[in-house]
Structure 1
């Protein structure tokens, strides 16, 4: 450890390190600005709650408020990640919920998924089984899960009646701009040469969302919003009616149906944790002045607590994910510019999450973004789908592995998690796993190369 590194002050609480604004860190202006736009991504689960489980807008808004509170919990307890949703699992949960009637049945199914995810995080975090599961799982099966989640995201967006099909101009242009900013080598070159490009990059997917909103209004794909003034008042009384204490807890059969989805959710989330760890390591290479503690056991514990709170009081199809990758990447990028740009990684992540929460109560902002919630959700899913597909394809380098992964991915996108896991495991043992010793050794060598 570099002797010049210092750790931001905190209050110890078991495995956690509590940090509060002004007392332990300053608020960062760029993250405040970002939060006042990116909060619309959290609001984008509202249409899903309305269509899939039959919630009213006001009750669904209360779910978002609870979600923002649990996100504040994570950063306040010392995580260097900006928390968020397990976004790639959303299309798979939508497919899963399609098997249930909106209302008590769908709520119980959603509660089952979220409870299972909570206790998987608890069990795997305490025992270390999470790392074992992800490292020992066949590369082709991991690739199938990621590619399938990506395909499900794109199918949901582009199918007849999907959001892109209904409002193609704003979403195609917005999605293209988002992918260009995030992944294009051309934009990376511009980033090195242009202060304007660097400014745009600092705000992650926010510019793409704002441009898509402007285009949507210009071409009349979305209505001009009616701005309301005041403070948002979510309906927590109505939300209580959608909790398992009123709707009833799921039966064992529903838990068994939800288990494949929950396992896939954990695998995807653990992959996000690996990405987040790489981002933190990159931050440490650039900044030699701060100690950044990335305690994965504590992260698992707080993710368990967040999902448990949601399952019991505010279930939603996005689940409580350990990291909002785009938000964390945006904070890390600005953090690398030095202490004058950002006091601490914790000041950046905490400020962004606090800004997301405050924005939910600013009625003019909420009323402005309300017509455009499909845009925020669609661009997030397009970005997530692209990431899942590219990361999944990187997992496998053999033709057999690619075949297993792609067949599993198609089954996952069309029929759901349970069928995909069965198909993937059967294909792995039938055609990929070598039964002769020489073939087994060769497959193991190939898999190690991929890893």
Structure 2
């Protein structure tokens, strides 16, 4: 009898990796539809726990969860939700709606810690899930985003950056000023350095190194914080598996225990949910672009990219977490620092990675395993707050870059900068309303814009006629 090889189901040259069809989804299982990729497994052992660290700190700090064990339960469910896209046919490494996180924190700060804030979070995440579902079923996601003026989109993103900066200065630096400062410097080098970018363009090894993103500063915080700088406590390693307490979470943090949020909370959540979706849709397009680029290098495999499926998958993730473990960062379509190293290895050829699903599936399946290993969790526990601070500091730069690139005119910049300040200082809803009002006061040209467009079109036609002559 011949030795069985994995995966059990093979694809034809140039075809799509096999799957089980399930409505709009394409179910792929480990060892059945994709190989176990040990490189991605080892990467996920650390990266998965690093994500858990920041998420746990956020859950305790913002949602008011009363113990580390309970917060871990939230984070483990989030890790399981990480595995949904790759196993349902969406070719990405998912993450949080990270740029929206500062806005979410600012929004929740208007509600008292306890049942009131938990209800506000549940309502917000359910509205976000509903938006994903509606856009996935109707295909209106791109149209919704395009309706929103560029100045307002820029204001949303810059407002997220301002809110992140305030969070770092007011709440994160006191937790470990030297450790956090050095960690942020390291993060900025790996993520934004022109020198490293140039090296990455010339050598694929540096490109993979650059793709590690915030991992190097997190490693620095884990080891330097307690042992060199001595601002953080020394880790107390515990053995075994991560303790979970679903009963307590079910009773105290879900609609089944504390009841359904009042209708007014769903209404209040609409502006914040719209902003989160606009940001998430941008991440979705970026993730698809990264995959398309890698697909061009590998004609041996067909990779289907489907925006509607991506919306539905993220609707499922947010809906389930809203009901069972409301998650402050919410569930977004992309973690670029996780996707880029996988696609870079995939582009090296079949011998390196036979199918892109090998890397995507293994990475997120391994994340679930990683967060269940208590030695890894307790190793990084002292640095959880530093991880939170690094995440916020990176968002300052990312949101600033994206926001400023969007804004082309003085009128757009004027609307966006005022709107951003109001979002960060007063609140997301007030900021969104002010941005719309300012757009009509400062920027909207009405019939003059139509006349300018018609004039420009006429000039283009005249130029084409002259060229033909």
For the pair 1:394 / 2:394, whether they are aligned, the reply is no
1:444–1:73 CA distance, 2 compared to 1 (3 A)? farther
Alignment of structure 1 residues 110-149 onto 2, 5 Å: 110-149=121-160
Partner of 1:34: 43
How many equivalent pairs are there? 441
Q: Deviations over 1:219-264 (max 9, x none)?
A: 1121110111111121111111211111121112111211111111
Query: Is residue 102–residue 167 contact of structure 2 (8 Å, CA) maintained in 1?
Result: yes
1:47–1:444 CA distance, 2 compared to 1 (3 A)? farther
Query: Is residue 208–residue 344 contact of structure 2 (8 Å, CA) maintained in 1?
Result: no
Partner of 1:367: 378
Deviation at 1:182, TM superposition (A): 2.1
Deviation at 1:312, TM superposition (A): 0.9
Deviation at 1:201, TM superposition (A): 2.8
Partner of 1:229: 239
Q: Hey, what's the Cα distance between the residues in 2 that align with 1:409 and 1:147? A: 5
Structure 1 stretch displaced more, 376-385 or 246-255: 376-385
Query: Is residue 202–residue 334 contact of structure 1 (8 Å, CA) maintained in 2?
Result: no
Alignment of structure 1 residues 20-419 onto 2, 5 Å: 20-39=29-48, 40-55=50-65, 56-159=67-170, 162-191=171-200, 197-198=206-207, 200-217=209-226, 218-241=228-251, 242-419=253-430
Q: Hey, what's the Cα distance between the residues in 2 that align with 1:279 and 1:292? A: 12
Q: Hey, what's the Cα distance between the residues in 1 that align with 2:455 and 2:412? A: 12
Q: Deviations over 1:129-168 (max 9, x none)?
A: 2110112211111111111111211210122xx2124322
Structure 1 stretch displaced more, 373-382 or 196-205: 196-205
Question: Which of 6, 10, 24 lines up with 2:15 in the alignment?
Answer: 6
Deviation at 1:204, TM superposition (A): 3.3
Q: Hey, what's the Cα distance between the residues in 1 that align with 2:242 and 2:447? A: 65
Query: Is residue 434–residue 440 contact of structure 1 (8 Å, CA) maintained in 2?
Result: no
Deviation at 1:424, TM superposition (A): 0.4
Q: Deviations over 1:157-201 (max 9, x none)?
A: 122xx2124322222222222222222220123335668635523
Deviation at 1:442, TM superposition (A): 6.2
Deviation at 1:431, TM superposition (A): 0.8
1:357–1:378 CA distance, 2 compared to 1 (3 A)? same
Deviation at 1:376, TM superposition (A): 2.1
Q: Hey, what's the Cα distance between the residues in 1 that align with 2:296 and 2:193? A: 24
Q: Tell me the SS of whatever aligns to 1:293.
A: coil
TM-score, normalised via structure 2 length? 0.89
Q: Tell me the SS of whatever aligns to 1:12.
A: strand
Query: Is residue 212–residue 337 contact of structure 2 (8 Å, CA) maintained in 1?
Result: no
Q: Hey, what's the Cα distance between the residues in 1 that align with 2:452 and 2:416? A: 20
1:293–1:95 CA distance, 2 compared to 1 (3 A)? same
Deviation at 1:381, TM superposition (A): 2.4
Structure 1 stretch displaced more, 328-337 or 388-397: 328-337
Q: Hey, what's the Cα distance between the residues in 2 that align with 1:333 and 1:158? A: 35
Q: Hey, what's the Cα distance between the residues in 1 that align with 2:343 and 2:39? A: 13
Q: Tell me the SS of whatever aligns to 2:234.
A: coil
Deviation at 1:120, TM superposition (A): 0.8
Q: Hey, what's the Cα distance between the residues in 2 that align with 1:290 and 1:173? A: 42
Q: Hey, what's the Cα distance between the residues in 2 that align with 1:195 and 1:435? A: 50
Partner of 1:448: none
Q: Hey, what's the Cα distance between the residues in 1 that align with 2:26 and 2:273? A: 29
Structure 1 stretch displaced more, 209-218 or 270-279: 209-218
Query: Is residue 54–residue 384 contact of structure 2 (8 Å, CA) maintained in 1?
Result: yes
Partner of 2:28: 19
Q: Hey, what's the Cα distance between the residues in 1 that align with 2:83 and 2:193? A: 32
TM-score, normalised via structure 1 length? 0.93
Deviation at 1:314, TM superposition (A): 0.6
The structure having more radius of gyration, on CA atoms, is: 2
| RMSD across aligned positions (CA) | 2.0
Deviation at 1:127, TM superposition (A): 1.4
Unpaired runs of 5+ residues, structure 1, are: 446-451
1:92–1:423 CA distance, 2 compared to 1 (3 A)? same
Question: Which of 409, 421, 441 lines up with 2:452 in the alignment?
Answer: 441
Deviation at 1:383, TM superposition (A): 2.2
Unpaired runs of 5+ residues, structure 2, are: 1-11, 457-469
Q: Deviations over 1:340-376 (max 9, x none)?
A: 2222221111111112110111110011111111222
